[in-house]
């Protein structure tokens, strides 16, 4: 679940929109959402009693979020990252190899447990335009694969530096 705030800055008289946070919810029942919202608000010293309206998933909410500078920069950066990684089968292969190496190292260190259905191969997928859930999955995948993504970017930079030296 993504929680964005929209409020009026009384000094400037402007409407301000801010991304407050992204949290995983097990289901989307009203009680689960209420508890998650209260927890996220509380973590930011805010209360549910000051909320004046709510909006939920869909194209209109995504349009509002993309007008928010913080969200827009995040989505734009994710799109560039996905384009860099996914535009080359070689880079996808490097990502897969590095992730397998990182999982193996974590298993050997005891940082991960093994078992049926655990530590499945993960990839990066492009989010849908109108669904927060797909954006959350993409962000979660980037967090999960971040060390491997850095390895791919390092390999790419090494290649760029080599080409620059040769030229």
Task: Tell how strand 14-22 and strand 2-9 pair up.
Answer: antiparallel
Q: Quick one: pLDDT at residue 41?
A: 92
C-alpha 14, offset from chain centre: 28
pLDDT tens digits for range 12-57: 888 888 888 888 888 878 788 889 999 999 999 998 888 877 766 5
Q: What is the pLDDT of residue 120?
A: 61
Give me 9's structure tokens.
Answer: 């800055």
Tokens of 69: 């500078």
pLDDT in tens, 128-150: 666 667 777 888 888 888 999 99
**pLDDT tens, 88-133?**
888 889 999 988 898 888 888 988 777 666 556 666 777 766 666 7
Residue 124 is predicted with a pLDDT of: 75
pTM of the model: 0.56
Residue-level pLDDT at 31: 86
Find all residues with CB under 8 Å of 136, minimum gap 6, and list them. Answer: 1, 2, 22, 24
């Amino acid at each position: 679940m993504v929680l964005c705030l929209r409020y009026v800055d009384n000094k400037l008289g402007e409407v301000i929109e801010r991304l407050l946070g992204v949290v995983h919810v097990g289901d989307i029942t009203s009680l689960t959402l209420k508890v998650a919202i209260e927890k996220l608000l509380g973590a930011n010293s805010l209360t549910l009693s000051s909320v004046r309206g709510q909006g939920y998933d869909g194209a209109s909410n995504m349009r509002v979020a993309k007008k928010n500078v913080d969200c827009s920069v995040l989505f734009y950066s994710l799109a560039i990252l996905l384009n860099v990684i996914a535009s080359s089968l070689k880079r996808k292969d490097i990502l897969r190899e590095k992730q397998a190496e990182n999982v193996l190292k974590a298993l050997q260190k005891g940082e991960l447990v093994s078992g049926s259905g655990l530590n499945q191969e993960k990839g990066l997928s492009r989010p849908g335009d109108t669904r927060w859930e797909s954006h959350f999955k993409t962000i979660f995948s980037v967090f999960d694969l971040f060390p491997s993504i850095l390895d791919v970017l390092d390999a790419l930079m090494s290649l760029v530096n080599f080409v620059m030296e040769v030229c």
